[in-house]
């Protein structure tokens, strides 16, 4: 056996340092697998990435779900392909499913699981090229599905919702199931200009990051004021009731004979009183859903926050609106342009025009500060007329 | 067999959760990492959270042990949380305590929730990705080791999330974390003769600042040219075409530190992280400067913030000038917004137009 190259030897020294410490350690895990650890060590020593671009591939039966990883140093580590596994809603995994995944990782991969990725899939790394088709058919027979790569609907994620959370305004996991019932073809076959991510949050606290990490985000909310449980609020200590009243940013909460009343006109659904109320204050009965568009971290224009597109009354309406968003996106985005980049390029007004929606105050975070604007003949007529009506009190 | 992910979800949640969907009224944090949920039916369940490895890689041995624990204590099912941690839901409190002991024996501390460190996450980095500028898992590993006391023992002013991404694509989700480390390239990529194999037009189009031009070669073919003064080193063209490379990443790659991200649709909404330290080099395995800077930020925040103030809220109250004064970090002009080629300010919320 020949002496390993210098970068491998030096790399091993670095790795032994990384292995230390109380936090759960990925290298101590990797030691029990067939992952090419020397390749990783060498890249730490050389301070450069030793994997090269592989991209996504489609094989018969699996148009999405397979990522290629090519090594630039075949002498110390082999190329490896990765498959992405779709999980049930809420990332619930049964013990049987975990065992199945482990079996597949042992049989086809390097005996390692990536559970879970930041996109909430499970990945099985290290599957050789010639065994991918065999893997795909065996995996399907085991009742599992791969997907979530390429220019398709990526894995939709949802917060835990009504299954375990008292703030949720809808059963978010059911929404995700319904999404896949309706859009599975778009999730399976890459047909969009770029990837589209959907995230579903049950309440405005937005645990699913629907307002930022998703091209399309659905956030459950309610109209008017939250409900107050008069009995429960009496059980709370007086200071915490005072704290609830004081912490309302719009002053919508008032004390009224031992309990509190919340003005529906002033409530902005900010969730602060719900969090402090410990069960005494719950979301309102009349639900609404906020549809956000254009959030992303990756891609041309860097991280962009999403913008509120509309408020709708039901998940059915939200899905109908999504049809339209996806249609506009497919028709108007350039190749490899995310929805957020499209909106950045043409502006929110341009996007609303394409959506055939009337711009409203809810669509903007802030107003125009630049005085230069091409005000046209129509505007010169219409704007003074409408303001005049208000001023005259008509 | 149905197409798409396994559905409906009701087949995969623990048996004891099936009758109580939508009936929850309140929750209470019993100790770091253990929460009691109360339903209107009077039922109580407990969820327990254990830290994941930074890039969530597990050996199949560990996965099988976790699966056994789920069978024994948590209704034969478990879930992965938003921040990649493991969550087990049990119906009895004493089972939760036993589960906690077993998980800690396996090397997975139980903690988070409330005013603690919630998670340390990272993307693949050198471990499995082709584009990274910094090795995110080993940075995250180091940060986890240093901050572990805040996970299940010491209290902080408010929630703290830490995230590390290997490149500006932020796959680690870093711009939403309270403290994030993002890999950055700082050199202009070079066009090699291999560029012929790529889709030239497509590659030129990936450039966000229009720095890539098509150019004829003396042989009558076409190649690409990168305009040095415009390039912002985002690395998108390197990802799109194997013929464009970074020549000496070992010298020029590194990472920046951003703070004050948070995700929320309520009140003033989502905040993205803002870059306080524009560049630090890759120094595996200890990353002394990076870890030291993060610890300094956490310590200053811990000392200075009011109870319940996340880093974003704290900055909002004291302002950036005071932040730099209190941490002692110098302010670098590279932390300022810049104008892109069309003269449009690339503001954080994308409201450039």
Q: What is the tens place of the pLDDT at every residue in A344-388?
A: 889 899 999 999 999 999 998 888 888 888 888 999 999 999 999
The correct answer on CATH 3.30.413.10 for the domain covering B117-184+253-335 is yes
Does residue A163 sit at the B interface (CB-CB below 8 Å)?
yes
Whose tokens are 């109360």? That residue is B38
Contact yes or no for A112/A128 (Cβ under 8 A): no
Give residue B341's pLDDT band: very low, low, confident or very high (50, 70, 90).
very low
How confident is the model at residue A370, as a pLDDT?
Answer: 82
- Residue A159, exposed/middle/buried by CB under 10 A (0-12, 13-18, 19+)? buried
Q: Which residues pair with residue A254 across a beta bridge? A: A261
Maximum Cα interatomic distance, chain B, rounded to a whole number of Å: 81
In DSSP notation, A238-264 reads HHHHHHHHHH-TT--EEEETTEEEE-T
Best of B6, B169, B232 to mutate (most A CBs within 10 Å, chain A): B6
**Nearest chain A Cα distance for residue B256, angstroms:** 15
Q: Which two tokens stand for residue A46?
A: 């050389």
Q: Which residues pair with residue A219 across a beta bridge? A: A201, A290
- Residue A298 three-state SS: coil
Whose tokens are 């950055």? That residue is B184
DSSP label at residue A118: T
Does residue A18 sit at the B interface (CB-CB below 8 Å)?
yes
- Residue A258, exposed/middle/buried by CB under 10 A (0-12, 13-18, 19+)? exposed
Class of domain A227-282: alpha beta
- Residue A375 three-state SS: coil
Q: Do B53 and A94 touch (CB under 8 A)?
A: no
ipTM of the complex: 0.91
**Nearest chain A Cα distance for residue B234, angstroms:** 9
Please list the helix, strand and coil fractions of chain A in percent, rounded to the nearest 5, in that order.
Answer: 40, 20, 40
Residues of chain A contacting B52 with CB distance shorter than 8 Å: 24
Residues of chain A contacting B351 with CB distance shorter than 8 Å: 365-366
Q: What is the tens place of the pLDDT at every residue in A117-161?
A: 988 999 999 998 889 999 999 999 998 999 998 899 999 999 999
Beta-strand pair B179-184/B222-226: unpaired
Q: What is the tens place of the pLDDT at every residue in A214-264?
A: 999 999 999 989 999 888 888 888 888 999 999 898 899 998 887 889 999
Best of B163, B210, B266, B285 to mutate (most A CBs within 10 Å, chain A): B266
Does residue B343 sit at the A interface (CB-CB below 8 Å)?
no
Q: CA–CA separation, A200 vs A196, rounded Å?
A: 13
Out of B67, B174, B285, whose CB is closest to A17?
Answer: B285
pTM: 0.90
How confident is the model at residue B273, as a pLDDT?
Answer: 87
Q: Which residues pair with residue A201 across a beta bridge? A: A219
Does residue A137 sit at the B interface (CB-CB below 8 Å)?
no
How confident is the model at residue A93, as a pLDDT?
Answer: 94
**Nearest chain B Cα distance for residue A394, angstroms:** 34
Whose tokens are 């895990």? That residue is A29
CATH number of B9-106: 3.30.70.3340
Out of B128, B172, B282, whose CB is closest to A69?
Answer: B128
Does residue B4 sit at the A interface (CB-CB below 8 Å)?
yes
Hey, CA dihedral for B323, B324, B327, B332, is it positive or negative?
Answer: positive
Q: What is the tens place of the pLDDT at every residue in B241-298?
A: 888 988 888 888 999 999 998 877 666 677 888 899 999 999 988 999 999 999 999 9
Q: CA–CA separation, B27 vs B30, rounded Å?
A: 9
Cβ-Cβ contacts under 8 Å for B122 (sequence gap 6 or more): B54, B55, B136, B137, B139, B140, B163, B164, B165, B166, B172
Chain A nearest-CA residue for B350: A304
Give residue B352's pLDDT band: very low, low, confident or very high (50, 70, 90).
very low
Which residues of chain B form CATH 3.30.70.20? 190-247
Among candidate residues B217, B215, B116, the one with its CA nearest the CA of residue B158: B116
Contact yes or no for A211/A306 (Cβ under 8 A): yes
Q: Which fold has domain B190-247?
A: Alpha-Beta Plaits (3.30.70)
Whose tokens are 């700082």? That residue is B186
For chain A, the C-alpha Rg in angstroms (whole number) is 26
The correct answer on CATH 3.30.70.2500 for the domain covering A6-141 is yes
Residues of chain A contacting B27 with CB distance shorter than 8 Å: 165-166
How confident is the model at residue B351, as a pLDDT?
Answer: 37
Q: Is pLDDT at A162 greater than 60 in this prediction?
A: yes
Q: Rounded to the nearest 10 degrees, what angle do helices B60-73 and A95-107 cross at?
A: 170
Q: What is the tens place of the pLDDT at every residue in A28-82?
A: 999 999 999 999 999 999 998 888 877 788 888 888 889 888 888 888 888 888 9
Give residue B346's pLDDT band: very low, low, confident or very high (50, 70, 90).
very low
Q: Is pLDDT at A22 greater than 90 in this prediction?
A: yes
- Residue A66 three-state SS: strand
- Residue A25 three-state SS: coil
Q: What is the tens place of the pLDDT at every residue in B53-63?
A: 998 999 999 99
Q: Is pLDDT at A105 greater than 90 in this prediction?
A: yes
Best of A12, A20, A26, A159 to mutate (most B CBs within 10 Å, chain B): A26
Q: Is pLDDT at B348 greater than 70 in this prediction?
A: no
Does residue B254 sit at the A interface (CB-CB below 8 Å)?
no
**Nearest chain A Cα distance for residue B306, angstroms:** 15
Which residues of chain B form CATH 3.30.70.3340? 9-106
Mean pLDDT of A155-177: 93
Q: What is the tens place of the pLDDT at every residue in B175-198?
A: 788 999 999 888 889 999 888 888
Best of A54, A240, A297, A340 to mutate (most B CBs within 10 Å, chain B): A297
Mean of all residue pLDDT scores within chain A? 90
Residues of chain A contacting B138 with CB distance shorter than 8 Å: 18, 44
Out of B56, B130, B285, whose CB is closest to A14?
Answer: B285
**Nearest chain A Cα distance for residue B349, angstroms:** 5
Mean pLDDT of B203-229: 85
How confident is the model at residue B338, as a pLDDT?
Answer: 61
Best of B21, B27, B58 to mutate (most A CBs within 10 Å, chain A): B58
Give the 3-state secondary structure of chain B. Answer: CCCCCCCCHHHCCCHHHHHHCCCEEEEEEEECCEEEEEECCCCEEEEEEECCCCCCEEEHHHHHHHHHHHHHHCCCEEEECCCCCEEEEECCHHHHHHHHHHHHHHCCCECCCCCCEEEEEECCHHHCCCCCCCCHHHHHHHHHHHHHHHHHCCCCCCCEEEEEECCCCCCCCHHHCCEEEEEECCCCCEECHHHHHCCHHHHHHHCCCCCEEEEECCCCCEEEEECCCCCCCCCHHHHHCCCEECCCHHHHCEEEEEECCECCCCCCCCECCEEEEEEEECCCCCCHHHHHHHHHHHHHHHHHCCCCCCHHHHHHHHHHHHHHHHHCCCCCHHHCCCECCCCCECCCCCCCC
How confident is the model at residue B267, as a pLDDT?
Answer: 63
Q: Is pLDDT at B131 greater than 90 in this prediction?
A: no
Interface contacts (A, B; CB < 8 Å): 363
Give the CA angle between residues A24, B56, B111 to the nearest 5°: 50
CATH number of A157-222+288-363: 3.30.413.10
Percent of chain B past pLDDT 90, that is, above it, reads 57
How confident is the model at residue B1, as a pLDDT?
Answer: 58
Domain residue ranges of chain A, discontinuous segments joined by +? 6-141, 157-222+288-363, 227-282
Instruction: Residue window 192-231, chain A: list those with CB within 8 Å of chain B.
Output: 201, 204-213, 219, 221
Mean of all residue pLDDT scores within chain B? 88
Q: Is pLDDT at B342 greater than 60 in this prediction?
A: no
How confident is the model at residue A226, as a pLDDT?
Answer: 92
């Amino acid at each position: 056996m020949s002496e390993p190259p210098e970068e491998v030897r030096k790399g091993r020294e670095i790795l032994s340092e990384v292995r230390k410490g109380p936090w759960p350690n990925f290298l101590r895990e990797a030691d029990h697998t067939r992952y090419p650890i020397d390749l990783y060590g060498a890249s730490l020593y050389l301070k450069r990435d030793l994997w090269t671009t592989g991209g996504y591939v489609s094989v018969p039966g699996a148009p999405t779900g397979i990522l290629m990883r090519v090594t630039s140093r075949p002498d110390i580590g082999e190329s490896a392909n990765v498959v992405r596994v779709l999980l049930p809603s809420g990332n619930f995994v049964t013990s049987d499913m975990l065992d199945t995944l482990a079996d597949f990782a042992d049989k086809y991969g390097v005996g390692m699981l990536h559970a879970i990725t930041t996109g909430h899939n499970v990945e099985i790394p290290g599957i050789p090229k010639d065994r991918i088709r065999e893997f795909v058919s065996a995996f399907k027979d085991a009742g599992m599905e791969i997907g979530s790569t390429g220019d398709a609907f990526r894995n939709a994620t949802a917060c835990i919702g009504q299954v375990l959370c008292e703030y949720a305004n809808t059963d978010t996991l059911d929404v995700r199931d319904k999404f896949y019932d309706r859009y599975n073809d778009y999730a399976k076959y890459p047909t969009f200009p770029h990837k589209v991510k959907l995230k579903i949050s049950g309440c405005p606290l937005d645990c699913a990051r629907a307002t930022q990490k998703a091209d399309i985000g659905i956030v459950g909310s309610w109209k008017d004021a939250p409900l107050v449980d008069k009995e429960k609020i009496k059980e709370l200590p007086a200071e915490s009731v005072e704290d609830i009243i004081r912490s309302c940013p719009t002053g919508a909460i008032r004390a009224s004979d031992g309990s509190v009343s919340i003005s529906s006109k002033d409530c902005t659904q900010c969730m602060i009183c719900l969090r402090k109320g410990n069960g005494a204050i719950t979301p309102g009965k009349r639900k609404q859903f906020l549809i956000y568009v254009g959030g992303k971290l990756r891609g041309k224009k860097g991280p962009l926050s999403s913008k509120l597109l509309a408020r709708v009354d039901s998940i059915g309406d939200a899905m109908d609106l999504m049809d339209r968003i996806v249609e506009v996106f497919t028709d108007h985005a350039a190749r490899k342009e995310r929805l957020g980049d499209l909106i950045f390029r043409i502006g929110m007004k341009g996007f609303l025009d394409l959506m055939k929606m009337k711009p409203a105050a809810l669509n903007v975070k802030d107003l125009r500060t630049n005085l230069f604007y091409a005000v046209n003949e129509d505007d010169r007529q219409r704007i003074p007329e409408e303001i005049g009506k208000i001023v005259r009190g008509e | 067999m149905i197409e798409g992910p396994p559905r409906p979800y009701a087949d995969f949640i623990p048996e004891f959760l099936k009758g109580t969907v939508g009936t929850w009224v309140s929750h209470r944090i019993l100790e770091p990492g253990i929460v009691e949920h109360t339903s209107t039916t009077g039922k109580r369940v407990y969820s327990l959270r254990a830290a994941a490895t930074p890039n969530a890689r597990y050996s199949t041995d560990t996965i099988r042990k976790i699966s056994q624990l789920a069978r024994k204590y948590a209704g034969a099912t478990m879930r992965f949380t938003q921040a990649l941690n493991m969550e087990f839901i049990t119906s009895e409190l004493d089972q939760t305590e036993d589960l906690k002991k077993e998980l800690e024996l396996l090397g997975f501390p139980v903690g988070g929730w409330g005013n603690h460190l919630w998670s340390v996450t990272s993307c693949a980095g050198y471990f499995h990705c082709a584009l990274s500028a910094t090795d995110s898992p080993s940075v995250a590993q180091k940060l986890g080791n240093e901050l572990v006391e805040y996970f299940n023992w010491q209290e902080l002013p408010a929630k703290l999330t830490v995230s590390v991404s290997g490149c500006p694509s932020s796959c680690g989700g870093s711009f939403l974390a309270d403290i994030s480390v993002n890999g950055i390239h700082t050199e202009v990529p070079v066009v090699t003769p291999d560029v012929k194999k790529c889709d030239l037009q497509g590659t030129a189009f990936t450039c966000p600042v229009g720095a890539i031009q098509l150019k004829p070669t003396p042989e009558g073919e076409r190649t690409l040219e990168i305009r040095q003064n415009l390039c912002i080193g985002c690395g998108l063209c390197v990802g799109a075409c194997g013929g464009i490379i970074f020549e000496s990443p070992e010298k020029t790659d590194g990472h920046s530190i951003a703070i004050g991200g948070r995700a929320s649709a309520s009140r003033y909404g989502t905040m993205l992280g803002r870059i306080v330290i524009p560049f630090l080099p890759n120094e595996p395995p200890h990353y002394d400067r990076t870890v030291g800077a993060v610890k300094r930020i956490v310590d200053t925040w811990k000392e200075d913030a009011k109870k319940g103030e996340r880093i974003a809220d704290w900055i909002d109250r004291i302002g950036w000038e005071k932040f730099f004064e209190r941490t002692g970090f110098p302010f670098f002009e590279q932390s300022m917004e810049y104008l892109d080629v069309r003269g449009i300010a690339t503001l954080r919320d994308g409201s450039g137009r």
